[in-house]
Amino acid sequence: MDFLTVLNDIQTQIQPLLGQGKVADYIPALAAVDSKHFGMAVTLNTGEFYGVGNYQQPFSIQSISKVFSFTLALRAYREELYKRVGREPSGNPFNSLVQLEYEQGIPRNPFINAGAIVVCDSLISHFADHNSNTVEQILHFIRACSHDESINCDRNVFSSEMQYGYLNIALANLMKSFDNLENNVDEVIKTYFRQCSIVMNCQQLSRAMLYLADHGSDPITGRAFINESQAKRINSLMLTCGHYDASGDFAFHVGLPGKSGVGGGIVAVIPGKMAVAVYSPALNKSGNSLVGTKALELFTTMTGLSIF
């Protein structure tokens, strides 16, 4: 298939949508981006790469980082991890305290904020046992699976998050009160916000996610990151819980496991074949990239690659 033509077609078709939606503005560092940016990248399991538009424009990956940290936690704890975080869709907004209180501090899944905070906490404990720093290890993993040593955090975004992150701090303290955080709340929150502030572009993201398109191993180098069952778990979680309150709609429209971030990025995995990343910062009312969601829908429609 001629993916470059597909990407070019998509770029043409989404033009009228640029300008719709609303860039995340809960912190100044995110509000400053160009709302009309659009980039899209495809990396095949064979190593072929196709990019269009601002596919090399770096952006804050935000919640997409949850896929990487969950991968590391699953590798470190295996089934034990599920004692502390569930695997089911939440049905509540991504930052709800209600469910967390009702279910005694056990978050529904690792992709809602509370779940990702627990995952961070588990990594801090794990890496401390190995005299190692969690943020460094997450970066190390992302650099390894994207084959790009330049990837790093954005200090501005991090300090903005710290300044306005009251709800996440509330979630963390609530879980601490239920004994579901092992480490100091402040350290956990800092680690979580650092992870969210990681900056990548579409090319790097599509390359990095390739291990989820090949049963846990990098299809190009053959290096195994996680096992097949773990990759399947991550993909199924991305399908059922990857897009906040619009996960069901994404499953229908796009029909691929995927994860979005409030920074405007979305990645999607086509098992056995490739990974796709898209960036466009204006969000729809569910908090997912408006143009990004549409672009991925066009992609599966044009290529027939939906899993349904």
294 in contact with its own copies (CB under 8 A): no
Can you point out the beta strands (E) in 24-159?
A: 39-44, 49-53, 59-60, 152-153
For the bound state, the minimum distance from the C-beta of residue 258 to its own copies, rounded and expressed in Å, comes to 12
258 in contact with its own copies (CB under 8 A): no
Length of the chain (residues): 308
Q: Is 49 or 178 the residue whose CB approaches its own copies more closely?
A: 178
Total residues in contact with its own copies, by rule CB under 8 A:
48
Task: Report the phi/psi class of residue 50: left, alpha or beta, with left for phi > 0 and alpha for psi in -120 to 50.
Answer: beta
Whether 271 contacts 264, CB under 8 Å: no
Q: Which of 37, 66, 84, 108 binds its own copies (CB under 8 A)?
A: 108
58 in contact with its own copies (CB under 8 A): no
| DSSP structure class, residue 49 | E
For the bound state, the minimum distance from the C-beta of residue 175 to its own copies, rounded and expressed in Å, comes to 8
Q: Which of 19, 28, 47, 248 binds its own copies (CB under 8 A)?
A: 248
| DSSP structure class, residue 183 | S
Q: Is 52 or 275 the residue whose CB approaches its own copies more closely?
A: 275
**Which range, of 40-48, 85-93, 131-139, 260-268, touches its own copies by CB under 8 A?**
85-93
What the block records as the tokens of 23 is 């860039």
Tokens 């729809």, residue located: 284
37 in contact with its own copies (CB under 8 A): no
Can you point out the beta strands (E) in the chain?
A: 22-23, 39-44, 49-53, 59-60, 152-153, 198-200, 258-260, 265-270, 274-279, 282-283
9 in contact with its own copies (CB under 8 A): no
As a whole number of angstroms, the distance between CA 292 and CA 273 comes to 20
CA distances to 17, 243, 284 from 14, in Å: 5, 20, 14
Which phi and psi angles does 94 have, rounded to 5°?
A: -60, -20
Whether 29 contacts 37, CB under 8 Å: no
101 in contact with its own copies (CB under 8 A): yes
**Which range, of 11-19, 71-79, 200-208, 232-240, touches its own copies by CB under 8 A?**
232-240
Q: Is 16 or 166 the residue whose CB approaches its own copies more closely?
A: 166
Q: Which of 88, 147, 184, 221 binds its own copies (CB under 8 A)?
A: 88
Q: Which residue type, as a one-letter code, is found at position 4?
A: L
Query: What residues between 173 and 202 interact with its own copies by CB under 8 A?
Result: 173-174, 176-177, 185
Binding site for its own copies (CB under 8 A): 86-92, 96-99, 101-102, 108-109, 166-167, 169-174, 176-177, 185, 231-233, 235-237, 239-241, 245-249, 251-252, 255, 257, 271, 306-308
